[in-house]
Each structure stands twice: as C-alpha cells, then as structure tokens.
Amino acid sequence: METWDAICARRNVRQYRSEPVSDDDLNRIAEAGWRAPSAKNRQAWHFVIVTDRAQLQELSTVWQGAGHIASAAAAIVFVIPEPPSERRKVTDQYDVGQATMAMMIAATDLGIGTGHSSVGDQDKARAILGVPDDYLVAYMLGVGYPADRPLKPIRKPNRRPFDEVVHHGHW
C-alpha cells in the first residue's frame, strides 16, 4: 500500500478476526514507533508487545474504553517514565502520540487494524505488565486483522469539513 493510501485507509478497529499477527509484523509495527520523532530525541518510551490471551483480557479492564483489547491478536502498550515536570509530561505525551500514529500507519500498510485506548487503573496495568512504579502505562494499541471489512482508502471519511479545520495565514 502507498503511504497516502495507508493514511486514508487507517481507521479505529475494535473488532478483530481470531487469527494471530506474526512476530515479524508486530516487530515491524513497533519499529515504526521506535523510528518516530521525539522531543530532543529523548525517546523516553518503551513498547510492550502482548500476545498472551489472559494478559490481553486483563488489560481490557484497565479502562472503560479498552474492551476491544481482549479480542485483539495483540496489544502494544506504551510506557513512559513518570514525568518530573508538567512540561516533560506534555512533550512525552506528544511523543507517544507520534509513535502511536506511526504504528497505526505501519499496521494499516500491512492490512492490520489498530484501536487505541487510554489507561485508567495504573496500579493494575503495571501489575499485569511488571512495569516499575516510577513509570506510567500511558496508552494501549489493540492490533489485529479487522473482523468487519478490510482496510482500504475511505472515500468519504466521517470528518469535520476540511475548510472548517484548515486555515491559511489566519483563523
């Protein structure tokens, strides 16, 4: 798939087929995050790839919007150090967002769907993954083959009108 097609085909997938995603594909998706830009090239993130069904089921309970993680073939969990300041928190969150989008595009390019989720219960998420207390389990990305329809460019995306969002030179 061409990059633009992957961008246009990417959508949040929260229902997955039961087939596994290969380790090679999971590592390629994670590599896309590893290659993402970060503030001062700090690369503060860690990515935990989870394929164990019991762990996926447990992870699906750390946030009310994480139910799809239970049926995903895998999850990639984003972990960052506890921020020492509000400024670092903002930049680390931005950096994780860039890594997330890079992973989503890489997955789409492979025909693999993704669906992101926040994390509410930090203690539980840390315990499931063995994450030290001085780190935050920031987000999760469900990964798997879409159950409903393949990923292909969306001709009429459900988005606000382009001219309402994009401004040139001034508001």
Residue 54 lies in a domain: yes
Write down the pLDDT at residue 1: 66
Task: Provide the number of structural domains found in the chain.
Answer: 1
Residue 110's domain comprises: 3-146
CATH code at 107?
3.40.109.10
Residue 34 lies in a domain: yes
Residue 153 lies in a domain: no
Residue 42 lies in a domain: yes
Tens-binned pLDDT, residue by residue, of the chain (171 aa) = 689 999 999 999 999 999 999 999 999 999 999 999 999 999 999 999 999 999 999 999 999 999 999 999 999 999 999 999 999 999 999 999 999 999 999 999 999 999 999 999 999 999 999 999 999 999 999 999 999 988 999 889 999 999 999 999 999
Residue 51 lies in a domain: yes
Q: CA 74, 81, 42: angle at the middle one, nearest 5?
A: 95
Residue 115 lies in a domain: yes
Residue 154 lies in a domain: no
The structure's pTM equals 0.94
